[in-house]
Structure formats: structure tokens, C-alpha cells
Amino acid sequence: MKSTAVGFSKAWMFIAFFIFIVIELFLGGLVGEIVVGRYMSIHLRFMMQGLLNLVSFFLGGLLIGVFSPGIRIYEPAAGAALSVATMLLLTFFTPYSFLHFSMTKLVVGGGIAFFLALSGAKMGERLTGNLKWKSN
């Protein structure tokens, strides 16, 4: 059983940030290899990209929950919100009007990423025995 972590670790938040990017690139490459050269509507492509984003936040949180020292639940969640904020900041440099920055996108997207990573981290910590399963 891992020891309980004391306080919030900024280092693990940034590690989580990079893990989310690596997982998304891996999943995108994996799915991209399957669908390259096949006809796909732009709507299906956007839906698949969105689903890969969501899956990467959950899987990243799960991996951090399993492999991090101590109990790390909030660090992956903060890292996920940071990655959404970083991607939205990049929209300042895009010429497309539908890809513009807005606080609503930041709050909603960051919140979804936060809770998916939080859920993944809790599940990872439970799998390693650091958190007890609630029996309600």
C-alpha cells in the first residue's frame, strides 16, 4: 500500500498534463491508422476527436492513480483542466471564428476534463488499494 501524500504536488500536476497529451497522441495515432484513407465526414471526425479527448482524460487519471507515489487524486484533475486551458489559449492564434476563446468553453471543457481525470484517478487509487470502495 502506498503512503498517503501530504499536500498538493505541482510536479504531479505537470506530469499529468504531459501524460494527457501523450495518451491523446497515442490514441489518435492508433485510431488514425485505422481510419486513414477511408471516407469520413467532418462531423464524424470531430466526434471521434472529442471522444479521444474524453477517454484520454479518464485513462490519464487512472494511470496516475495507479503509478504515482501516495494518493494523487487532485493533481491529475488539475492537470486535465490545465491542458484544456492551454488548448483554448491556442485558439487566439487560429483564423477560424468558430474556434475562438470563451470563458464558457473554458469552464465547461475544463470542468468535464477535471471530473473525468478525477474519476480516473480515484479508480486507479482504488485498484491499488489506497482508497476503499464505498458500499452503499
Where are the domains positioned within the chain?
10-91+100-127
Cβ-based neighbour number of residue 25 at 10 Å: 13
Using a cut of 0.95, tell me whether the model's pTM lies above it.
no
Give residue 134's pLDDT. Answer: 67
Contact 75, 63 (CB under 8 A): no
What pLDDT shows up at residue 95?
77
pLDDT for the residue numbered 37: 63
Output the pLDDT for position 1.
Answer: 47
Torsion on CA atoms 82, 112, 117, 129, rounded to nearest 10 = 150
CA distances from 25 to 94, 95, 96 (A): 21, 24, 23
Instruction: Report the pLDDT value the prediction gives residue 75, as an integer from 0 to 100.
Output: 92
- pLDDT beneath 50, residues of the chain: 1-3, 5
Q: Which three cell numbers stand for residue 33?
A: 491508422
CA distances (Å), origin 129, targets 2, 67, 132, 133 = 8, 12, 7, 9
pLDDT in the model for residue 36: 65
Q: How far apart are CA 122 and CA 72, in angstroms?
A: 8
